[in-house]
Amino acid sequence: MTWIRFRTQEMRLTFIISVGAVVVSCGGGGGTSSAPELPPPPVNVAPIVEAGSDLTVGEQTKVDLIGSASDSDGTISTYNWTQTSGIAVKLSGTDTAETSFDAPAASKQNILTFQLTATDNNGAATTDTVNVTVNSNPGSVLEKWEPSLISECTTDSNISPVLPLAQNFMTQDGQRVMEPSIIFIDQTFTFLLKAAPDAPSLSVDLLKFGGYGVVGVDDVSLVFDDGTHGDLVAGDGIFTRSCLYVLEESLAGNDFVHSSNLWALSTALRGTETADYIAQGVRVNDAGFFIELGDEYSNRLTNNWRLLNPEYCQACLRAWQLAGDIFDFFAMSTRDPVGGAGYVRVHDNILGTGFNPPCEPRSYCYSIIDGQEHQKLTGIIWMGWPGIGGLNHELGHGFLGVETRNFPADGARAWNAGDLFHLDSDITVTGELAGPFWDPVRGWPHAVQLENEAGERFETYLTEDVDGIFRLKALDDNNRIWDDILLYMMGLLPPEDVTKTYYKLFNPRLSDCITEELNTVCTNDLVTAEELIPFTVTDFIAQFGTRSVPPYLDPKRIQMGVLNISDRPHTEAEIVWLTKTYREFVTSSEAVGQFIDGTPWSWATKGLSTIEINAALHTSSN
């Protein structure tokens, strides 16, 4: 009996154990127990994620990515969107189920892939992807426009599409605009002047004495704010005169004439240059991009920083999207004159030349428009002048700075003591970062002129003659060549090839000079100084270290994206002019160009460096 009861009890307890209601251990005779075994925790079920249906969109349109996620046994803690392939775009946000982006400019069909990851409250994550096909839509969003011929112009027809928007960019009294500013000699233009609307018309000396004519009327000097003569809105303070033209005799047999803020081209240049649409609002040829920015272009007169700032640069974005991350520099050119030249530093990757960018990786701390670093991009050049004068100078800033402080000596004895960015005129180094020789007492902008026996006056620069005597010399082609020590800094000459000794003349002194309001005029070219400070490339290396540059920056073959920007499609004359000027800048080996205001790059660098600007080539291979 005892045995049977024990067995029955054992069997009963075993049954209880099997259903998990009680955990007991019964053994051979002792009846001892141990700690209960816990059941395994419930298995967490990963979330279900949907990144949305695949999309097909047109270029430069807003795209919404609508994702979702659910979790059957918990909640969704985080979302994360990433782009895994295709032309890089900047998402409006990455930490919600929905996001958006602007489809890139596209010269061909592109597929962009995005991944949505959802993580639940227990750390389980699931991903899903969505493909967005971006189709190219080459052409202009605006109707093409050409200015009227002189023989066909009337004040109430063929109005430029930008004139009704003049209030957006003419905001200060005294502003003047010629629309367009680049024409063929047989075409007309419209002149706009912002002024207080105190009278129905004003007389403008620029028009009266500038070599202009006007269709059908003798008095060319008057501009109107009364709704006539091409004025669109009476009393709005924008005085207007349409159907103006440049007198044909002004050409005098040349290819063009530059009159005030207008360039008139010979009709023989018509049909010599073209540019083809490869994307919506973007044309290209062998000399650059022609990019339509719409109303954004109005900022050229009111806030050009908006156009240049790497955080907002729409023209930069389109060039990257169409050609890839290949550019060492961008040169941004307006189709009308809105000011001079300037430079925006983005990265300085060169070591051993004094550059000291404040952020890593060797950058100037911009959050670039597409969210990418674009480490290769050194800087953005502003060309607010269609003659592109100053381009050589701004490239010098890009390669040289000049950021080298206290060289060859401290403080006022440095070679860039004036403003720390340009070379002082009292050194014997040539190049376009040095201006003419300035009055030693008054400084900039009072240039020293040398007057010859015939009474002719010339601006000057400092030289050392064969006898070691320092003299003023009239500005010539040679003073625009980058000197050897600067070519070393650019990476175009090895240090052993820089054999010259240069000098800083501290407190220079002139003889036989008279001081005028603007200039100082001398008849004696001799220059002496309180102290002569010699320096060589060896001294430079001892102070700043050996120059080094990353492999993706080749100063002997520079990749520059020329970004010709406009609100409307560029006219034929604008394309012809801008193409010829930039092509000449990068291909001419002469000291003076036929079209450009400045110095061709090859001449300035002694043929040691070339610049590639062929946008048609870059976009066709991308």
Give bridge partners of residue 239 from the DSSP assignment.
Answer: 193
Strand, helix or coil for residue 151: helix
State yes or no: pLDDT of 315 exceeds 70.
Answer: yes
Mean pLDDT of 138-155: 90
For residue 571, report the phi and psi dihedrals to the nearest 5 degrees.
Answer: -75, 170
Give bridge partners of residue 461 from the DSSP assignment.
Answer: 473
Looking at per-residue pLDDT, the higher value among 160 and 38 belongs to: 160
Output the six-digit token pair for 575: 């394309």
| Strand blocks (E) in 323-475 | 329-334, 341-345, 379-383, 448-451, 457-464, 470-474
State yes or no: pLDDT of 143 exceeds 90.
Answer: no
Residue 412 within a domain: no
State yes or no: pLDDT of 427 exceeds 80.
Answer: yes
The CA-based dihedral angle spanning residues 614, 327, 576, 254, taken in that order and rounded to the nearest 10 degrees: -100
Co-location of 296 and 389 in the same domain: yes
- pLDDT value at residue 302: 87
Co-location of 210 and 256 in the same domain: yes
User: Which is it for strands 610-612 and 470-474: parallel, antiparallel or unpaired?
Assistant: unpaired
Query: Which sign does the torsion angle of CA 498, 504, 509, 514 carry?
Result: positive
- pLDDT value at residue 478: 92
Residue 141 within a domain: no
Residue 540 within a domain: no
Mean pLDDT of 392-410: 93
Burial of 441 (0-12, 13-18, 19+ CB in 10 A): exposed
State yes or no: pLDDT of 168 exceeds 50.
Answer: yes
- Containing 587, the helix (H) or strand (E) segment is helix 572-587
Output the six-digit token pair for 355: 């550059």
Domain encompassing residue 249: 150-269
Whole-angstrom distance, CA of residue 413 vs CA of residue 415? 7
Residue 406 within a domain: no
**Domain termination residue (choose one: 269, 285, 302):** 269
Q: With beta carbons less than 8 A apart as the criterion, state whether 141 and 569 touch.
A: no
Whole-angstrom distance, CA of residue 266 vs CA of residue 260? 17
State yes or no: pLDDT of 6 exceeds 70.
Answer: no
Residue 95 within a domain: yes
Q: With beta carbons less than 8 A apart as the criterion, state whether 402 and 433 touch.
A: yes
In the chain, the percentage of residues whose pLDDT exceeds 90 is: 83
Co-location of 90 and 123 in the same domain: yes
Residue 408 within a domain: no
Query: Which sign does the torsion angle of CA 480, 484, 485, 489 carry?
Result: positive
**Domain termination residue (choose one: 81, 111, 135):** 135
| Strand blocks (E) in 389-465 | 448-451, 457-464
Name which of 305, 307, 323 is nearest 315 in CA terms: 307
State yes or no: pLDDT of 107 exceeds 90.
Answer: no
What is the number of domains present in the chain? 5
**Domain termination residue (choose one: 73, 103, 135):** 135
Co-location of 131 and 165 in the same domain: no
For 140, 186, 262, 410, the CA distances from 269, given in Å and listed in that order, are 24, 12, 16, 54
Q: With beta carbons less than 8 A apart as the criterion, state whether 131 and 170 touch.
A: no
State yes or no: pLDDT of 16 exceeds 70.
Answer: no
For 26, 180, 304, 312, 565, the CA distances from 307, given in Å and listed in that order, are 85, 20, 5, 7, 10
| Number of Cβ within a 10 Å radius of residue 542 | 9
Q: With beta carbons less than 8 A apart as the criterion, state whether 510 and 440 touch.
A: yes
Co-location of 29 and 96 in the same domain: no
In the chain, the percentage of residues whose pLDDT exceeds 70 is: 94
Provide CB contacts within 8 A for 453, sequence distance 6+.
Answer: none
State yes or no: pLDDT of 22 exceeds 60.
Answer: no
- pLDDT value at residue 34: 62
Residue 138 — pLDDT band, cuts 50, 70, 90? confident
Co-location of 256 and 282 in the same domain: no
Whole-angstrom distance, CA of residue 419 vs CA of residue 412? 11
pLDDT tens digits for range 244-272: 999 999 999 999 999 889 999 999 999 99
Name the DSSP class of 542: H
Q: Residue 490: CA atoms inside 13 Å, Cβ hemisphere, count?
A: 26
Burial of 464 (0-12, 13-18, 19+ CB in 10 A): middle
Co-location of 2 and 32 in the same domain: yes
Name which of 115, 111, 107, 106 is nearest 50 in CA terms: 115
Name which of 419, 391, 427 is nearest 403 in CA terms: 419
Output the six-digit token pair for 294: 């719409």
Co-location of 338 and 355 in the same domain: yes
pLDDT tens digits for range 559-613: 999 999 999 999 999 999 999 999 999 999 999 889 998 899 999 999 999 999 9
- pLDDT value at residue 5: 31
Co-location of 282 and 397 in the same domain: yes
Whole-angstrom distance, CA of residue 526 vs CA of residue 473? 10
- CATH number for the domain including 125? 2.60.40.10
Mean pLDDT of 383-391: 93
Residue 140 within a domain: no
Co-location of 163 and 246 in the same domain: yes
Q: With beta carbons less than 8 A apart as the criterion, state whether 111 and 84 touch.
A: no
State yes or no: pLDDT of 507 exceeds 80.
Answer: yes
Residue 197 within a domain: yes
State yes or no: pLDDT of 18 exceeds 80.
Answer: no
Co-location of 374 and 478 in the same domain: no
Whole-angstrom distance, CA of residue 582 vs CA of residue 600? 9
Output the six-digit token pair for 123: 């750390």
pLDDT tens digits for range 470-479: 999 999 999 9
pTM score, whole prediction: 0.87
Co-location of 280 and 397 in the same domain: yes
Mean pLDDT of 86-102: 93
State yes or no: pLDDT of 15 exceeds 50.
Answer: no
Q: With beta carbons less than 8 A apart as the criterion, state whether 357 and 310 touch.
A: no
